[in-house]
Amino acid sequence: MSQPSQKKLKVAVVQHSNSADIEHNVNKTIQGVREAAAEGAKLIVLQELHRSLYFCQTEQTDLFDLAETIPGPSTEQFGALAKELNVVLVLSLFEKRAVGIYHNTAVVIECDGTIAGKYRKMHIPDDPGFYEKFYFTPGDMGFEPIETSVGTLGVLVCWDQWFPEAARLMAMAGADILIYPTAIGWDTRDDEDEQHRQLDAWVISQRGHAVANGLPVISCNRVGQEPDPSGQSEGILFWGNSFIAGPQGEILAHAGAEDDQILTVDVSLSRSEDVRRIWPFMRDRRIDHYSDLTKIYRK
């Protein structure tokens, strides 16, 4: 089999715990970005809602004050950082679009400090401890990859990672990499076996998107215990385990479950073509029989 020329990209994720002190969190993130850049990373992915605690454990109207415009303070601050370090950054922000309209939005900052594009989270959960429908309007920008100097990025957000349709649509639109800023963890009342099942399912699902689409996957999660402000539970123990996988789902780098950690690894963007040649799933799709996918349920 002929080999296309290898195009390598050093990528990184910044996994860390958060506190109620936003300035502290931002400084920790910035330090992580600097360390990743010092290791040679040119694409650096941050975890979901990295400025604050994961505030969706309860429904409180005053927490909408955490939201900001895009462009806004964070894109300005991290834009300057991206330009200084000559890196592409993937941010995850609580966006205030208009009065009463807020989104969970990923923003890609180009290495010159400008906004390359953004993605508004499409799938919004509403489960105990994850009351996101109270805060976030579902995205209306579709599944469109973002063109950057390091490649075409298929950026999705957390709950999107369970939906094969989202990954496939990004791949069909020309994404070179699938990227998932994430905030997911355990309910501490679950027993150890259930916790293992949930974590395994999370990793398997995203590795499956890599395999099904022949693309690398970058998943960045947070770590640490964050209390439930209502006191109705012990809060969420975010399970970390950020990872980077290749286009056959192979693990290239994998973080632990408890500690702040920066992962950096070289990813081959050209190997996706090799994989798609031997596993031509795109070629063999039967789109003439997939119309029922637009239905909620077939019965």
Residues with a catalytic annotation lie at 48, 121, 158
Helix axes 192-213, 164-172, angle to 10 degrees: 20
Cβ-based neighbours of 177, under 8 Å, separated by 6 or more:
11, 43, 151, 152, 153, 154, 215, 216, 217, 218, 267, 269
Token readout for 3 is 């080999």
Does residue 249 contact residue 208 with C-beta atoms inside 8 Å?
A: yes
Following DSSP, what letter does each residue of 240-263 receive, concatenated? ---EEE-TTS-EEEE--SSS-EEE
Question: Whose structure tokens read 């970005």?
Answer: 33
Residue 45 CA to residue 54 CA, distance in Å, equals: 18
- Give the angle subtended at the CA of 96 by the CAs of 95 and 98, to the nearest 5°: 145
Token readout for 51 is 């400025």
The secondary element (H helix, E strand) that includes residue 76 is helix 73-85
Beta bridge partners of 119: 106
Say which amino acid occupies 151.
G
